[in-house]
Structure 1
């Protein structure tokens, strides 16, 4: 199995999403000892956000600046790693009701018409088939369905929708939420996430 592990939290070893994503990876590698792991820390080495220069380079304009050229090569590497992966583990904390900007920058490099999705007479079609994704979700408050703040949830829903758009339907969310309420709430949320990780069987 080829496993791609992405982290996007800015909090380093204080990050709950990093704890969860790491433990998901450990669980998967225990279940599949032959796994080949590729790791990207998107927060530590983020891609640039898309600009007019990026689009120009894609249309054949020369990438005159070394920073832009290096960034285009990074985007190509993101795409190659995604195609090679059978399984992805994505560490995704909620920032301002959505995902961290380094993760959005990664998405903008891999959600590319003609490569990971295409337009057909029946509408868009995802081209990434037979992959599975585990989302390691961490949120300060409680946004899951049935709670008062659920309407503000543009985090997991966005990721699940985006992955589905690319053709990935096998998505599992391992969540710790309410972690900003108190130390006790944080510990309880992490403990529940660990129970859900232990329940992964394949």
Structure 2
């Protein structure tokens, strides 16, 4: 199984999403046989934002090839100004490629990246989940779910730590709860574990 591990938080060692994504990958490696992990830090080695010339070259780009060659994608994502870090958005722009990850059909787009599993470790400073008065401001989970679904991926799971900016006690409890969830993810319902 090939696993692509992406981190995008700019917070370095203080990043909750990096802690959670690492826990998810560690759990998968310990649980499944023959996991080949490729790690990319999109914050320290950001992809360029699209220009016309780079947009025209996406079809042959290394990023879309790497994505298509991957079985499981684990993403660590912070939540900045109501959405994902620009570094992660740039990566998404490099993999949503007509003719590679989607095509146009008679009734609209058709996703070509089916069969992959995506697990997102998402860290948010405030609370944006169900029942929150700020739910309508949440555009990270919705953006990622929309982008991957557009490419044909329906096996998407979010491990969320939120309210991290409320207090140190709230932060710790939220991260601890998310770490429990991180250690329970499955890489794929079709891959047999050795435990």
TM-score normalised by length of structure 2: 0.92
Q: Does 1:172 align with 2:157?
A: yes
Match of 2:86 among 92, 97, 101: 101
Match of 1:131 among 116, 120, 123: 116
Q: CA separation of 1:123/1:195 partners in 2, compared to 1, >3 Å: closer, same or farther? A: same
Query: Counterpart in 2 of 1:29?
Result: 29
Q: Which has the higher helix share?
A: 1
- Secondary structure at the aligned position of 1:137 is classed as strand
Unaligned residue ranges in structure 2 (runs of 5+): 188-195
Stretches (4+) displaced over 6 A: none
- Secondary structure at the aligned position of 2:29 is classed as helix
Query: Counterpart in 2 of 1:86?
Result: 71
Unaligned residue ranges in structure 1 (runs of 5+): 59-71
Written as runs of structure 1 = structure 2, the 5 A alignment for 1:144-155 is: 144-155=129-140
Give the structure with higher Rg (CA). Answer: 1
Query: Counterpart in 2 of 1:64?
Result: none
Deviations 1:15-57 (A, max 9, x none): 00000000000001111131000011011100111113324x5
- Secondary structure at the aligned position of 2:61 is classed as helix
Instruction: Report the number of matched residues.
Output: 187
Contact between 2:64 and 2:97, CA under 8 Å: does it hold in 1? Answer: no
- Secondary structure at the aligned position of 2:4 is classed as strand
